[in-house]
Chains A and B, each alone.
Chain A
């Protein structure tokens, strides 16, 4: 079974802190994604990566950056956390040219106070 793991299930940070959310997949997938999930808004794409060191902005990249130094790991970085970044963050991965099935991690619920 494909496993997508995220470093924390729950995280509490203060306004202005630098926050790292880590995601690891074990299926050698080329593509990895970060979404945020908010009630009434569904899931929105923040960033994705189709290869090591490659990244593309999604629909809501402002206030976020990403890093992909190894194929299996994709990090989401909040340079200076703000309260409006309190949300559930979901990581996903898939392989191009396959069935477009994205595999999701369990999510990290981030609270910024």
Chain B
């Protein structure tokens, strides 16, 4: 079955530090990959996605590149802010076309940015 492995936190960084959160996956076929973010007291929201190998998803200064050869989708940001403090989830979907299926999530990484 599908699975997603991501580094567990909490990860604590100082403001303006460089961020990497590692994510690797196991799936049959060619899944789509996602990063979701959950800010304190809020629901999950999509941060970025990539639907095929070598695609780069980006949003709000965050980036992740779909690496099929290493089955990875690491999240990076060059300079984090206190407002980036949240829980980050890596996820995949092997849904094809118009089908329906849930996402497979990693366990989540709690990121804490200190001023």
A33 and B44 alpha carbons, distance in the complex (Å): 13
Given the interface pairs A90-B44, A104-B43, the reply to whether A96 lies near B49 with Cβ below 8 Å is: no
A31, A90, A101: the one contacting B100 at CB < 8 Å is A31
A55 and B97 alpha carbons, distance in the complex (Å): 19
A43, A45, A101: the one contacting B89 at CB < 8 Å is A43
Q: Give the contact stretch, choosing among A12-20, A34-42, A72-80.
A: A34-42
Q: Is the CB of B44 within 8 A of A104?
A: yes
Q: How many A residues touch the partner, as a band?
A: 20 to 34
Q: Is the CB of A96 within 8 A of B102?
A: no
Is B14 in the interface zone, CB < 8 Å from A? Answer: no
By a CB distance below 8 angstroms, the chain B residues around A4 are 43
- Chain B: minimal CB distance from A76 (Å): 13
Q: Is the CB of B98 within 8 A of A35?
A: no
A17 and B97 alpha carbons, distance in the complex (Å): 40
Is B68 in the interface zone, CB < 8 Å from A? Answer: no
Q: Interface residue count for B (Cβ, 8 Å)?
A: 28
A35, A43, A100: the one contacting B93 at CB < 8 Å is A100
Given the interface pairs A42-B89, A43-B105, the reply to whether A100 lies near B32 with Cβ below 8 Å is: yes
Given the interface pairs A42-B106, A43-B89, the reply to whether A104 lies near B100 with Cβ below 8 Å is: no
B42, B45, B49, B102: the one contacting A35 at CB < 8 Å is B102
Q: Is the CB of A100 within 8 A of B95?
A: yes
A105 and B101 alpha carbons, distance in the complex (Å): 18
A61 and B62 alpha carbons, distance in the complex (Å): 34
By a CB distance below 8 angstroms, the chain A residues around B99 are 50, 96
Is B27 in the interface zone, CB < 8 Å from A? Answer: no
Q: Is the CB of A48 within 8 A of B102?
A: yes
By a CB distance below 8 angstroms, the chain B residues around A42 are 4, 89, 105-108
CB-CB contacts below 8 Å: A45-60 with B: 45, 48, 50, 56, 58-59
By a CB distance below 8 angstroms, the chain B residues around A48 are 100-102
**Could you give 11 example pairs across A and B, Cβ below 8 Å?**
A40-B8, A42-B106, A43-B91, A48-B102, A58-B102, A90-B44, A100-B34, A104-B36, A104-B43, A106-B42, A107-B43
